[in-house]
């Protein structure tokens, strides 16, 4: 039971990975690669051996697909917008836009027409990716495994993670985009000299130029650590919370085959955790959006 439970957890936490395996590599099914080629990983070990340039196909598929769905829904709402009594969906979209717009007005102290649309995109996109965690953990992987079986492939190799925000590559990619915008607007608003001065003349600032010169390396080290920590913490906060939530759903799912009593208890626990998790996925989307607004506001502050 312990072995099967471990395999079950590993299977659900493994991404559908596409990468390159070198010539001479022995695969899980016993075949040996005659030449280096790109293929889908059959095991977690193969996914790890594919290295840095491997692609998580499932994370990209679901994140891009959900992004396209959001754009379609907002486009549809804008197309059907009317000056009279709004429909339920139009009213819902307007509430979200007004909420994000008010949040930006309260937290962003510069003037930049990109910040509000960016905040809206981040909030809705992260929320949709997080919300995939509410789908029972076995539903989509089982359907994907059935497709493997119908295609004559081994369903045990059918990995499918449907929550993109549990993949650090996705959360880090989003945070690095925010980080790049921070650096860009810091240099644009303050100038390159002002940006460097902000890194070297704070937090220790004295009037004596000789003493200030001694503080420059210390200031630079402290400011660089704080600057680099922002995208890392932004990415890992979202990833950690969503990964933990997914793990709890998987552990609860392990209780269903353990008899009627345990299955009944698992159903109650799953429902309770799903209800609580609605707050978690909304809060994490809001935090990611809020920190993005605050970081960009700091980039626009010209001391």
Catalytic annotation, residues:
233, 237, 241
Distances, alpha carbon 117 to alpha carbons 77, 82, 103, in Å: 16, 21, 12
Contact 15, 56 (CB under 8 A): yes
For Cα atoms 86, 87, 92, give the angle at the middle one, nearest 5 degrees: 90
List, in order, residues 6 or more apart from 181 with CB less than 8 Å away: 118, 296, 299
């Amino acid at each position: 039971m312990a072995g099967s439970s471990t395999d079950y957890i590993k299977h659900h936490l493994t991404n559908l990975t596409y990468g390159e395996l070198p010539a001479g590599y022995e695969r899980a099914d016993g075949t040996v690669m005659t030449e280096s080629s790109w293929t889908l990983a059959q095991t977690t070990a193969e996914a790890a051996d594919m290295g840095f340039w491997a692609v998580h196909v499932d994370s990209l598929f679901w994140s891009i697909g959900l992004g396209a769905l959001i754009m379609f829904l907002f486009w549809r709402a804008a197309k059907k917008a009317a000056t009279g009594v709004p429909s339920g969906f139009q009213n819902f979209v307007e509430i979200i836009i007004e909420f994000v717009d008010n949040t930006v007005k309260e937290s962003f102290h510069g003037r930049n027409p990109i910040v509000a649309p960016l905040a809206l995109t981040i909030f809705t996109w992260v929320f949709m990716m997080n919300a995939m965690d509410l789908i029972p953990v076995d539903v989509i992987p089982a359907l994907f495994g059935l497709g493997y079986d119908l295609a004559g492939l081994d369903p045990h190799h059918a990995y499918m993670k449907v929550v993109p925000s549990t993949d650090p590559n996705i959360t880090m990619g989003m945070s690095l985009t925010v980080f790049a915008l921070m650096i860009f607007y810091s240099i644009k608003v303050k100038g390159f000299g002002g940006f460097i001065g902000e890194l070297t003349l704070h937090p220790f600032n004295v009037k004596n130029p000789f003493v200030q010169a001694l503080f420059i390396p210390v200031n630079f080290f402290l400011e660089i650590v704080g600057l680099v920590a922002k995208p890392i913490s932004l990415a890992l906060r979202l990833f950690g919370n969503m990964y933990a939530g997914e793990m709890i759903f998987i552990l609860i799912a392990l209780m269903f085959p353990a008899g009627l009593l345990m299955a009944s208890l698992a159903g109650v626990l799953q429902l309770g955790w799903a209800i609580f998790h609605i707050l978690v996925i909304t809060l994490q989307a809001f935090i990611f959006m809020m920190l993005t607004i605050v970081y960009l506001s700091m980039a626009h502050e010209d001391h």
